[in-house]
Amino acid sequence: MPIALIVLAAGQGSRMQSDLPKVLHRVAHAPLLAHALRAGGTLRPDRVVVVAGHGGDAVEAVTRALDPEAIVVRQTEQKGTAHAVAQARAALDGFSGDAVILYGDTPFIRPETLDAMLSARADGADVVVLGFEAADPGRYGRLVTDGDRLERIVEAKDATPEELRIRLCNSGVIVADKDLLFELIDQVGADNAAGEYYLTDIVALARAARRPARVVTCPEAETMGVNTRADLARAEATFQADMRREAMATGATLTAPETVFFAHDTVIGRDVTIEPNVVFGPDVTIESGATIRAFSHLEGCHVSDGCVVGPYARLRPGAELDRGVRIGNFVEVKSAQVHEGAKINHLTYIGDAEIGARANIGAGTITCNYDGVSKHRTIVGADAFIGSDTMLVAPVTIGAGAITGSGSVVTEDVPDDALALGRARQVTKPGYADRLRQALRTLKESC
């Protein structure tokens, strides 16, 4: 059965107290909307429609970046969830199949749950609603059931005291045949406590039309929506806990899992060890057998088999480490390819560079890549030895097997196997230390 995904993302999210539309707030470095699209994307939908409203331009731009084929429609006034879905009608012209409605602020719906809803559809339910047993049903819509059947949904604002005692609540996720969905929505009115067009009313309307509705349930944590910054922090914690479990389940050792923070797209191989207090930004891949030592920060980088990174290392976007590379403490690497077995162990900045295989970069080395206007590249050949505290003033190339003397400022290319010294020659004056001290003392006493 072809599937269309409708993601509701027009609400303001006023309780976030933010200038940013709620669905663009991030969990694990991805907007909530990206999480919702990913959840729905597992169904391989034929069409994706995002209903934007508040902050619509920003939501549209982010949607385009996430899924260029998604259609963004606007709900200029937020008149309720049924009214929001109605805005997707034109975008779904010519589509026939099931419509799956998700909320942009509900990031954790699992593929298995959506599959269960589609199975319920296949088993003959015309409308399928995802419900959950709420610990505190609060403001959620209540599901009024009769055995297996779902009779109607009543919003908390409109519920009788007896209905408010129902613990089975509406998550908001709904699956229905697309044509039926819009037929039912046409009949929804706004005669209720909120004066809104409730999508939830389609259940009673379906029943009246003898089209049975059913509930599929999932754990409450899965339907968690984000309404406040505190919810956002909780969503982050939930997501991190899942990522840590997943990393360990697939063969990584996390010595203190609760202190490691992943991004939504972090890829961790087998037999990787991650020490305490490591933070991953987006777009990081760590291959098998690598070790990321304590207090390191990595983003936009690729770490190959057997590398050791940290403690206290920083890998920034474009850092590409080949097999067996060593990156030590207080080393920053950005936009640089570091070839197999190279060592950059202490207090160094490597940016816009290529470091040859087995090269040794001494403590305190800096690629001076920026002249205040443009960035320039540094190339270090295989087996080169860069002496401690070398300033590599880019653009500059150090040949294979070459050596630079400690403290050199290297501004000219160095051929293969050459020794480059770019520093003042040392002058040593025997006995002068004592003479200098005496002179300084005399000076101090005279003033």
- Residue 32 binds ligand UD1, judged by CB under 6 A: no
CB neighbour list of residue 267: distance below 8 Å, 6 or more residues apart: 284, 285, 286
One-letter amino acid at 60 equals E
Which whole-number Å values give the CA distances from 186 to 50, 74, 81, 85, 177, in the listed order? Answer: 20, 18, 13, 11, 14
Whole-number CA gyration radius for the chain: 31
CB-wise, 63 or 171, nearer to ligand UD1?
171
CB-wise, 10 or 315, nearer to ligand UD1?
10
* Of positions 26, 31, 81, 363, contacts ligand UD1 by CB under 6 A: 81
Binding partner of residue 103 among ligand UD1, Ca ion, none, CB under 5 to 8 Å per kind? ligand UD1
CB-wise, 13 or 45, nearer to Ca ion?
13
Q: Which stretch binds ligand UD1 (CB under 6 A): 197-205, 328-336, 376-384, 425-433?
A: 197-205
Q: Which of 415, 413, 411, 375 is nearest to 392 (CA)?
A: 411
Question: How far is 199 from 130, CA to CA, in rounded Å?
Answer: 13
* Of positions 95, 108, 198, 280, contacts ligand UD1 by CB under 6 A: 198
Q: Give me the 229-268 binding string for ligand UD1, x by CB under 6 A, dash otherwise.
A: ----------------------------------------
Beta carbon of residue 139, minimum distance to Ca ion (angstroms, whole number): 8
Q: Which stretch binds ligand UD1 (CB under 6 A): 91-99, 169-177, 267-275, 336-344?
A: 169-177
* Of positions 10, 181, 321, 327, contacts ligand UD1 by CB under 6 A: 10
One-letter amino acid at 274 equals I
Query: With CB under 5 A, what is the number of residues at the site for Ca ion?
Result: 1
Q: Which of 29, 83, 302, 346 is catalytic?
A: 346
Helix (H, G, I), strand (E, B) or coil at 208: helix
Helices then strands, each counted (H, E), the chain: 9, 33
Q: Give me the 403-432 binding string for ligand UD1, x by CB under 6 A, dash otherwise.
A: ------------------------------
Beta carbon of residue 292, minimum distance to ligand UD1 (angstroms, whole number): 37
Q: Which of 79, 11, 81, 69 is nearest to 41 (CA)?
A: 69
With CB atoms as reference, the residue minimizing the distance to ligand UD1 is 141
Binding partner of residue 394 among Ca ion, ligand UD1, none, CB under 5 to 8 Å per kind? none
Beta carbon of residue 366, minimum distance to ligand UD1 (angstroms, whole number): 49
CB-wise, 28 or 174, nearer to ligand UD1?
174
Alpha helix (H) residue ranges in 158-292: 161-164, 178-186, 202-208, 229-249
Binding partner of residue 83 among Ca ion, ligand UD1, none, CB under 5 to 8 Å per kind? ligand UD1
Query: What stretch of H or E contains 101?
Result: strand 98-103
Residue given tokens 């959620």 in the structure block: 140
Per CB under 6 A, which of residues 204..233 are in contact with ligand UD1?
225
Binding partner of residue 126 among ligand UD1, Ca ion, none, CB under 5 to 8 Å per kind? none
Question: How many other CB atoms sit within 10 Å of the CB of residue 345?
Answer: 17
Residues 90, 69 contacting (CB under 8 angstroms): no
Length of the chain: 447
* Of positions 80, 269, 310, 356, contacts ligand UD1 by CB under 6 A: 80
Query: With CB under 6 A, what is the number of residues at the site for ligand UD1?
Result: 28
Beta carbon of residue 250, minimum distance to ligand UD1 (angstroms, whole number): 32
Q: Is the dihedral of CA 432, 433, 437, 440 positive or negative?
A: positive
Per CB under 5 A, which of residues 207..236 are in contact with Ca ion?
225
CB-wise, 225 or 407, nearer to Ca ion?
225
Beta carbon of residue 148, minimum distance to ligand UD1 (angstroms, whole number): 20
Question: How far is 95 from 47, CA to CA, in rounded Å?
Answer: 8
Per CB under 6 A, which of residues 128..157 are in contact with ligand UD1?
140-141, 153, 155
Residues 107, 32 contacting (CB under 8 angstroms): yes
Binding partner of residue 387 among ligand UD1, Ca ion, none, CB under 5 to 8 Å per kind? none
Alpha helix (H) residue ranges in 52-155: 56-66, 81-86, 111-122
Known active-site residue 346: yes
Task: Please tell me what DSSP assigns to residue 141.
Answer: P
Helix (H, G, I), strand (E, B) or coil at 294: coil
CB neighbour list of residue 152: distance below 8 Å, 6 or more residues apart: 144, 201, 203, 204, 207
Question: How far is 210 from 196, CA to CA, in rounded Å?
Answer: 25
Residues 362, 389 contacting (CB under 8 angstroms): yes
Beta carbon of residue 105, minimum distance to Ca ion (angstroms, whole number): 7
With CB atoms as reference, the residue minimizing the distance to Ca ion is 225
Report, as residue numbers or ranges, the catalytic residues.
346
Q: For binding to ligand UD1 (CB under 6 A), which residues are involved? A: 8-11, 51, 53, 75, 78-81, 83-84, 103-105, 140-141, 153, 155, 169-172, 198-200, 225
